[in-house]
Amino acid sequence: MWCVAVAAGSFRRYATYRVATAAGVFTNTVFGFIVAYTFVALWAERPHLGGYGQAQALTFVWVAQALLAAAALMGGGGLEELQERIRTGDVAVDLYRPADLQLWWLAADLGRAGMQLIGRGVVPMAVGALVFPLALPGDALTWGWFLLSVLLGIVVSFGLRYLVALASFWLLDGSGLSLISGLACMFFSGMLLPLRVFPGGFGEVVQLLPWAAILQVPADVLIGARSGGALLRGLVFQAAWGAALLALGRLVQSAATRRVVVHGG
């Protein structure tokens, strides 16, 4: 199937950037140490902040570092190329392909994410586990649920980033919107601080936003904060947001395609 071929090609493409991958591993690991020691100090003062123990909080830190590139927690994730193709008009060529534009870029993004998860995610997590007492599960089933949750989170991330990329059909320059989107993802995904830590109604609201499906839910699955019914609700929450964002992206894509036709693209 062409989707598999596109994903495999994207995986191989990103695998060729060995120096960039090594630099990313180093950066993620160093940043992980900085945040981890910050969390050590914070949880020493508030041992059960957000309902997490210190080991769970530290695990959250290293999960964030492992997913930083794979889930594009700071935005980007390769869809800048789509934005540029829209800006230059080269997207007209993409629309003539015998493949759906959204599915093409989703397949490419999944291939990219797979490479980033292996290339930039495994080492920081392993280093974190060697240095800090992490709350990692000992059973394969939990790891399996975690990987499924990560996959759903990446789909949600793609859905958000794809909408941002499509906005370039109406904007002269989409870089500003991409920056805002990246900042929103960093804050509302739980990358800077777990969303469970936020107090009152604000904490409840941010856990209902789509960004929570990208990091907060997968991290909670891994550290055991979600099990049984809570695990199922978390996966349904991710799947619902993924389906909604892909459907919305389909509608925006349809409107954008009509715009290209109107302007002679």
At 260 the pLDDT is 58
154 contacts 70 by C-beta, under 8 angstroms:
yes
Q: Residue 92 CB: number of other CB atoms within 10 A?
A: 16
203 contacts 197 by C-beta, under 8 angstroms:
yes
Closest CA to 172 of 85, 80, 261, 87: 87
- Tokens (6 digits) for 217: 């839910």
At 259 the pLDDT is 62
Number of H-type helices and E-type strands within the chain: 12, 0
Domain assignments of the chain as residue spans, ordered by start: 2-262
- Tokens (6 digits) for 231: 């695990």
At 252 the pLDDT is 94
Distance of CA 104 to the CA centre of its chain: 18
At 145 the pLDDT is 96
Q: Residue 1 CB: number of other CB atoms within 10 A?
A: 7
Closest CA to 25 of 126, 121, 154: 121
pLDDT in tens, the chain (265 residues): 788 988 999 999 989 988 989 999 999 999 999 999 999 999 999 998 988 999 999 999 999 999 999 999 988 778 888 888 888 888 888 888 788 899 999 999 999 999 999 999 999 999 999 999 999 998 999 999 999 999 999 999 999 999 999 998 888 777 888 889 999 999 999 999 999 999 889 999 999 999 999 999 999 999 999 989 999 999 999 999 999 999 999 999 988 877 655 444 4
Closest CA to 191 of 71, 110, 26, 29: 71
d(CA 191, CA 216): 8
d(CA 2, CA 247): 21
What's this model's pTM, rounded to 2 decimal places? 0.93
Scored b (16 or more CB within 10 A) or e, 15-50 reads beeeeebeebbeebbeebbebbeebeeebeeeeebb
